[in-house]
Amino acid sequence: MTSIHNDQRAIDSARAALTELREIAPSLVFASVVTDDGFEVVHVPDNSADSGRFASMTSSVQALGEAVTRELSIGSSGYVVIAAENGHVLQLRVPGHELIFAALFDTHETLGKALSSSRRCVERLAALLAEHNFQEPLGSSTHY
Amino acid sequence: MTVAEHVILFAGPMGAGKTTAIRTLSDIEMVTTEAANSERHVVDKATTTVALDYGEITVGDEEKVRLYGVPGQKRFDFMWTILKERAKGMVLLVNNDAPEPIALALDYLKDFSQLVENGCVVVGVSRRDINRLPTPDDYADAIADAYPDVLVPVFTVDPRNVDQMKTVLLTLVASLERDESTKELVQ
């Protein structure tokens, strides 16, 4: 059985959604779509280095965020923000899928605008996956 | 009275039983960070830990032991780095049906060598009901060759068995206390 990160439908959909995001978000430095367990599906720009490590960290951060929301019984996790001096990292779950969107934006745009672009990106990705009739393999668990 | 606290790591390859061991031992409902496992062709289990597991157990009247499980996969080794800095000891679990399990155990011990050299590691060999060999003595001999100056106890364990896991944990806690007593004497 093909793993999600090797599934061509998932790769093509994610690449298309991230490419569209680059066009509407000039402050985007890097973006990727990763599986819940930290495997990268695709990233932009293509020449960015060490994206595997970022994918693993994305997975851990998402899981910790969701563990905190479970522990505090505050509903499902909407997004995760890491705000730093020179940029912010945003993470969102792709609705209905075991996939996480993670992106680094520089500070030339507001966090709100970056979040709005990111939300649009994950919704677009979910729509593309639906068009491709993509579903995770049976038996895998979900956290959303 | 001050309550003594220990932080213990559970490390080892995916599928060795780290999450199960902490669930078996913990007095509290454990915190997990499980995600769907994309590598079912490697280890056939539905989920895998991607950040940490957390549980607690009180040993005797006074000693609280915090149990942290780390992800087994090397790609999450940044979590190993974060958590090993806080740990006083480690239970290394190795599933005996893994390919070359002794070499695998030695690899993990190398990644946590400071804890090994402090004599604060116990090895639990799981899934010996599936593969009888190698034996715990085989592991102990290989570890003694690699670390001739320290004693690393090796047990056969079923991570679901509370008595077996408590034996492993108490052995480790005893090692930690011996280590602390030695440090106090030196000071």
Sketch the domain layout of chain A as residue ranges.
4-131
User: Which residues of chain B are within 8 Å of residue A3 when distances are taken between CB atoms?
Assistant: 38-39, 41
pLDDT of A144 over the 50 cut:
no
Q: Provide the pLDDT confidence category of residue A142 given band limits of 50, 70 and 90.
A: very low
Token digits for B6? Answer: 């220990």
**Confidence at residue A54, expressed as pLDDT on a 0 to 100 scale:** 93
CB nearest to B38's CB, from A37, A63, A142: A37
Distance (Å, whole) CA A115 – CA A79:
9
Tell me the whole-structure pTM to 2 decimals: 0.89
B132-172 pLDDT, tens digit each: 999 999 999 999 999 999 999 999 999 999 999 999 999 99
| CATH, range A4-131 | 3.30.450.30
- State the distance between the two ends of chain A, measured CA to CA, in whole angstroms: 23
Are A35 and B35 an interchain contact pair (Cβ–Cβ within 8 Å)? Answer: yes
Average pLDDT, integer, range A89-100? 95
CB nearest to A56's CB, from B40, B47, B76: B76
Q: What is the ipTM of this complex?
A: 0.87
Taking CA–CA distances from A5, the nearest residue in chain B reads B38
At position A94, the amino acid (one-letter code) is V
DSSP state, residue B2: P
Q: In 10 A of CB B19, how many CB atoms?
A: 23
User: Which residues of chain A are within 8 Å of residue B38 when distances are taken between CB atoms?
Assistant: 3-5, 35, 37, 39
Pairwise pLDDT comparison (B178 vs B23), residue with the higher score: B23
User: Which residues of chain A are within 8 Å of residue B51 when distances are taken between CB atoms?
Assistant: 59-61, 63-64, 67
Q: What is the mean pLDDT of chain A?
A: 90
A107-125 pLDDT, tens digit each: 988 999 999 999 999 999 9
**Confidence at residue A44, expressed as pLDDT on a 0 to 100 scale:** 95
Are A67 and B31 an interchain contact pair (Cβ–Cβ within 8 Å)? Answer: yes
Are B32 and A67 an interchain contact pair (Cβ–Cβ within 8 Å)? Answer: yes
Distance from CA of B147 to the nearest CA of A (A): 31
**Confidence at residue B32, expressed as pLDDT on a 0 to 100 scale:** 96
**Confidence at residue B31, expressed as pLDDT on a 0 to 100 scale:** 96
Distance (Å, whole) CA B116 – CA B122:
9
CATH homologous superfamily of domain B5-181? P-loop containing nucleotide triphosphate hydrolases (3.40.50.300)
CB nearest to A36's CB, from B32, B36, B40: B36
Average pLDDT, integer, range B39-65? 91
Q: Provide the pLDDT confidence category of residue A139 given band limits of 50, 70 and 90.
A: very low
User: Angle at the Cα of B11 (from B13 to B101), degrees rounded to 5?
Assistant: 40
Are A35 and B79 an interchain contact pair (Cβ–Cβ within 8 Å)? Answer: no
pLDDT of A138 over the 60 cut:
no
User: Which residues of chain A are within 8 Å of residue B52 when distances are taken between CB atoms?
Assistant: 64
pLDDT of B186 over the 70 cut:
no
Region of poorest pLDDT, from A45-49, A66-70, B104-108, B133-137: A45-49
- Is B34 near chain A, with CB under 8 Å? yes
Average pLDDT, integer, range A74-86? 93
pLDDT of A1 over the 80 cut:
no
Q: Provide the pLDDT confidence category of residue A143 given band limits of 50, 70 and 90.
A: very low
pLDDT of A56 over the 60 cut:
yes
pLDDT of B91 over the 60 cut:
yes
Which 3 state secondary structure label does DSSP give B118? coil
Taking CA–CA distances from A2, the nearest residue in chain B reads B38
CB nearest to B38's CB, from A4, A60, A71: A4
User: Angle at the Cα of B74 (from B110 to A71), degrees rounded to 5?
Assistant: 115
User: Which residues of chain A are within 8 Å of residue B33 when distances are taken between CB atoms?
Assistant: 60, 63-64, 66-67
